[in-house]
């Protein structure tokens, strides 16, 4: 089983307040039960490669990232078997994933700090299952958030009519005005995100399903940066076929 590399391995000089670095964090410890796959969905082959391999390939093209940390479950042996060449100066693994996304991200932030990242550095948390990520979308997010006091996330204004459900029937129509669908990456300072996730854990309220909601609970307002419809999260069985078609089209 792979473990964390030695602290500070391959890192440039520590950042100063004027030059915060950028890290990516990919929580990859879930099983994706809704996908009905025979393995964790991130390891299902799509367009000839594990789904998560496409995700990491897109992040690898972002030269402004210092490194990408993948958070795995403690017992995960599939990642290294399927992607033996990932680990290196810019690719780190941490077998510290928890039962929830928030727990995995919080543990991943601790791992980044052990690697030499600072609280003032930025972290871009991205879903392993958003495998159609394009570097240009991430660059847009970075450019929008680098000088922001809070940070932000890729998201899309909602176009569909929304229905609230009760017992399988429509209870009401919900206004879509001013509503956005959250995507990833979500970009925040490491220290801020740590504080937000710790506060959410103590409150034990509704589960934290994305990083922005934890930051919002501190009374802050993350920046909404327009994403793309193609940046969808592979979740249900039919999503694999759609991802296959789109990824195959990109390779032509």
pLDDT (tens digit per residue) in 105-127: 999 999 999 999 999 999 999 99
Which residue do the tokens 């290294």 mark?
Answer: 80
Tell me whether residue 173 is in a domain. Answer: no
Is the pLDDT assigned to residue 15 strictly greater than 60?
Answer: no
Do residues 68 and 59 lie in contact, with contact meaning Cβ atoms separated by under 8 Å?
yes
> Average pLDDT of the chain?
89
What is 42-53 written as a DSSP string?
GGSEETTEEHHH
pLDDT at 168: 95
pLDDT (tens digit per residue) in 190-201: 999 999 999 998
Identify the CATH number of the domain in which residue 83 sits: 3.90.550.10
Tell me whether residue 187 is in a domain. Answer: yes
DSSP-derived 3-state class of residue 103: helix
**CA-based radius of gyration for the chain:** 18
Tell me whether residue 163 is in a domain. Answer: no
Is the pLDDT assigned to residue 159 strictly greater than 60?
Answer: yes
Average pLDDT over residues 236-251: 88
Tell me whether residue 162 is in a domain. Answer: no
User: Going by DSSP bridges, is the β-strand pair 91-94/122-125 parallel, antiparallel, or unpaired?
Assistant: unpaired
By mean pLDDT, which of 38-47, 85-94, 128-137 is the weakest? 38-47
Query: pLDDT class for 251, splitting at 50, 70, 90?
Result: low
Do residues 158 and 183 lie in contact, with contact meaning Cβ atoms separated by under 8 Å?
no
pLDDT at 248: 84
Tell me whether residue 9 is in a domain. Answer: no
Do residues 187 and 124 lie in contact, with contact meaning Cβ atoms separated by under 8 Å?
yes
Tell me whether residue 244 is in a domain. Answer: yes
Tell me whether residue 52 is in a domain. Answer: yes
Q: Which tops the pLDDT comparison, 215 or 237?
A: 215
Average pLDDT over residues 53-63: 97
Structural domain boundaries, residue 44:
22-149+182-221+228-250
Measure the CA–CA gap between 239 and 233, rounded to whole angstroms.
8
Tell me whether residue 134 is in a domain. Answer: yes
User: Considering its fold, how many domains does the chain have in total?
Assistant: 1
Backbone phi and psi for residue 91, each to the nearest 5 degrees, phi listed first:
-135, 115
């Amino acid at each position: 089983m792979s473990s964390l590399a030695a602290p500070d391995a391959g890192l440039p000089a520590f950042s100063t307040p004027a030059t915060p670095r950028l890290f990516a964090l990919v929580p990859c410890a879930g099983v994706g039960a809704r996908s009905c796959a025979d393995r964790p969905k991130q390891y299902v082959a799509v367009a000839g490669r594990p789904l998560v391999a496409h995700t990491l390939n897109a992040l690898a093209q972002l030269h402004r990232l210092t490194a990408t940390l993948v958070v795995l479950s403690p017992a995960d042996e599939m990642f290294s078997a399927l992607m033996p060449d990932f680990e290196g100066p810019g690719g780190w693994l941490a077998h510290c994933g928890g039962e929830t996304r928030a727990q995995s991200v919080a543990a991943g932030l601790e791992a980044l700090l052990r690697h030499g990242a600072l609280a003032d550095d930025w972290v871009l948390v991205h879903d392993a299952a958003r495998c159609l990520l394009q570097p240009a979308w991430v660059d847009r997010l970075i450019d929008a958030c680098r000088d922001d006091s809070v940070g932000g996330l890729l998201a899309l204004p909602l176009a569909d009519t929304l229905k609230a459900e009760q017992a399988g029937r429509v209870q009401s129509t919900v206004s879509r005005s001013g509503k956005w669908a959250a995507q990833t990456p979500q970009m925040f300072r490491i220290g801020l995100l740590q504080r937000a996730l710790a506060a959410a854990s103590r409150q034990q309220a509704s589960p934290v399903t994305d990083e922005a909601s934890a930051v919002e609970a501190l009374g802050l307002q993350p920046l909404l940066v327009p994403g793309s419809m193609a940046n969808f999260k592979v979740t249900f069985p039919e999503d694999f076929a759609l991802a296959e078609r789109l990824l195959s089209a990109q390779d032509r």
